[in-house]
Amino acid sequence: MSDSDDSDGSRGDSPDLDDTRYYLNRELSHLEFQKRVLHEALDERTPLLERVRFLGLFTKNLDEFFMKRVGGLKQQIDAGVTDPTVDGRTPREQWREILDTTGPMFDRQTDCYREVIRPALAEAGVEIVDYDGLTAAERERMRAYFEESVLPTLTPLAFDPAHPFPFISNLSLSLGVFVRHDADEDPIFTRIKVPQNRPRLVPVEEGSRYVLLEDLIEAHLDLLMPNVEVLDTAPFRITRNAEVHRDGEVAEDLIEAIEEVIEQRRFATAVRLEIGADAPEAMIDLLRNQLDLDPEEVFRRAGPLDYRDFSTLVDLDRPDLKRERWSPLPHPRFAEGPNADVSLHGADLFDEIASDDVLLHHPYHSFDGTVQRFLDAAANDPDVLAIKAAIYRTASDSQVIQRLIDAADNGKQVAVMVELKARFDEQNNLQWVRKLEENGIHVAYGTVGLKTHTKTALVVREEDDGVKLYSHVATGNYHSETAKGYVDLGLLTADRDVGQDLVTVFNFFTGPSLDEEFRKLLVAPVTMRERFTDLVRREARYARAGRPARIVAKMNALEDPEMVKELYWASMAGVDIDLLVRDICRLRPGIEGVSDTVTVRSVVGRFLEHSRIYYFENGAGPDDPDDGGERRTPGSRPATDDGGEPQYFVGSADWMTRNLDYRVEAVAPVTDPDLREQLRFVLEVMLHDNRSGWEMNADGSYDQRTPGSDPVWGTQEILMAAARAAHECDDDRGIDTDHPASPGDLLVTGSAGGTGDADATDDATD
Is 11 within a domain? no
Q: Tell me, what's the pLDDT at 534?
A: 97
Same domain, 410 and 497: yes
Judge whether 635 and 680 are in contact, CB under 8 Å: yes
From the candidates 331, 361, 453, 472, give the one annotated as an active-site residue: 453
Q: Tell me, what's the pLDDT at 742?
A: 41
Is 746 within a domain? no
Residue 273 exposed, middle or buried by CB count within 10 Å (0-12, 13-18, 19+): buried
Is 533 within a domain? yes
Same domain, 485 and 571: no
Residue 137 CB contacts under 8 Å (≥ 6 apart), including other chains: none
Q: CA-to-CA distance for 695 and 596, rounded, in angstroms? A: 14
Which amino acid appears at position 370 of this protein? T
Q: CA-to-CA distance for 262 and 245, rounded, in angstroms? A: 10
* Three-class SS state of 421: coil
To the query of whether residue 365 is one of the catalytic residues in this protein, the response is no
Residue 250 CB contacts under 8 Å (≥ 6 apart), including other chains: none
Q: Tell me, what's the pLDDT at 178?
A: 96
Q: What is the 3-state secondary structure (H, E, C) of 365-376?
A: ECCHHHHHHHHH
CATH of the domain at 212: 3.30.1840.10
Judge whether 510 and 539 are in contact, CB under 8 Å: no
Residue 111 CB contacts under 8 Å (≥ 6 apart), including other chains: none
Report which DSSP code applies to 478. Answer: S
Same domain, 172 and 264: yes
Q: What is the DSSP string of 61-96?
A: HHHHHIIIIIHHHHHHHHTT-----TTS--HHHHHH
Binding site, annotated residues for ATP: 61, 486, 582, 610
Same domain, 553 and 673: yes
Judge whether 174 and 168 are in contact, CB under 8 Å: yes
Same domain, 489 and 555: no
Identify the segments of the chain with pLDDT beneath 70: 1-13, 244-267, 335-346, 396, 420-430, 432, 446, 448, 512-513, 621-643, 739-766
Q: Give the count of beta carbons closer than 10 Å to the beta carbon of residue 168.
A: 21
Same domain, 455 and 482: yes
Same domain, 457 and 562: no
Task: Please compute, for residue 24, the number of CA atoms within 13 A of its CA located in the half-sphere on the CB side.
Answer: 26
Q: Tell me, what's the pLDDT at 631?
A: 55
Residue 302 CB contacts under 8 Å (≥ 6 apart), including other chains: 110, 114, 276, 277, 278
**Parallel/antiparallel/unpaired status of strands 384-391 and 270-276:** unpaired
Is 697 within a domain? yes
Same domain, 147 and 241: yes
Is 749 within a domain? no
Domain span at residue 401 reads 332-336+345-510
Q: What is the pTM of this model?
A: 0.89
Which amino acid appears at position 316 of this protein? L
Judge whether 588 and 23 are in contact, CB under 8 Å: yes
Q: CA-to-CA distance for 512 and 114, rounded, in angstroms? A: 58
pLDDT tens digits, residue range 57-115? Answer: 999 999 999 999 999 999 899 989 999 999 999 999 999 999 999 999 999 999 999 99
Same domain, 501 and 597: no
Same domain, 283 and 431: no
Same domain, 307 and 167: yes
Same domain, 448 and 537: no
Is 659 within a domain? yes
Q: Give the count of beta carbons closer than 10 Å to the beta carbon of residue 415.
A: 21
**Parallel/antiparallel/unpaired status of strands 522-524 and 663-670:** antiparallel
CATH of the domain at 601: 3.30.870.10
Is 9 within a domain? no
Is 63 within a domain? yes
Domain count, the chain: 3
Q: Tell me, what's the pLDDT at 1?
A: 41
